[in-house]
Amino acid sequence: MKSKNIVLAAVLLAAGYVSVWAQTGGGTITGNTARENGGGVFVEGGTFDKTGGTITGFASDRANGNAVKDASGAARNYRSHAVYATGGSNKVREGTAGPGDSLSYTVNRDRWYTVTGVTAEGAWDN
């Protein structure tokens, strides 16, 4: 998945379920740019599971890796170049998450959209 010069992320999850897994030849999310957080994936609600495939970060591939950059094109470190998850408890992944790095994040909300719980597991940076 690749789309240059975007404002949010290649994958934006506000509710529902997204799963990223290894496919034949491997699935990759790369080459995307966001302005604030989550160059590759931005999770705000629902369930996100990464059990394979690759979500690139900026440090490992400065030419094509997912990145968070300001309006002038300068990299904004500590903004989750690969994956940013929020919803009561922020989780970040700056560097590349490869096929062996599992990431899981679930935001539970009630019918008024109030966060009632967050579950995070895997190879997050924090």
Q: Which pLDDT score is estimated for 92?
A: 94
Q: Which pLDDT score is estimated for 104?
A: 92
CA separation for the pair 106, 43 (Å, rounded): 9
Q: Which pLDDT score is estimated for 16?
A: 55
Q: How far is CA 82 from CA 16, 37, 92, 105, 111, in A?
A: 20, 9, 8, 14, 30
pTM for this one?
0.81
Per the CB < 8 A criterion, the answer to whether 80 and 37 are in contact is: yes
Per the CB < 8 A criterion, the answer to whether 122 and 91 are in contact is: no
Q: Which pLDDT score is estimated for 113?
A: 78
Question: Per the structure block, which two tokens stand in for 21?
Answer: 């897994």
Per the CB < 8 A criterion, the answer to whether 39 and 68 are in contact is: yes
Nearest to 86 by CA among 1, 3, 9, 5: 9
Question: Per the structure block, which two tokens stand in for 52?
Answer: 């394979």
Per-residue pLDDT in tens (0 to 9) along the chain, 126 residues: 444 433 444 565 555 555 555 444 467 888 888 888 988 888 887 888 888 888 999 998 888 899 999 999 999 988 999 999 988 789 999 999 998 999 999 888 888 878 888 999 999 999
Question: Per the structure block, which two tokens stand in for 113?
Answer: 């959209």
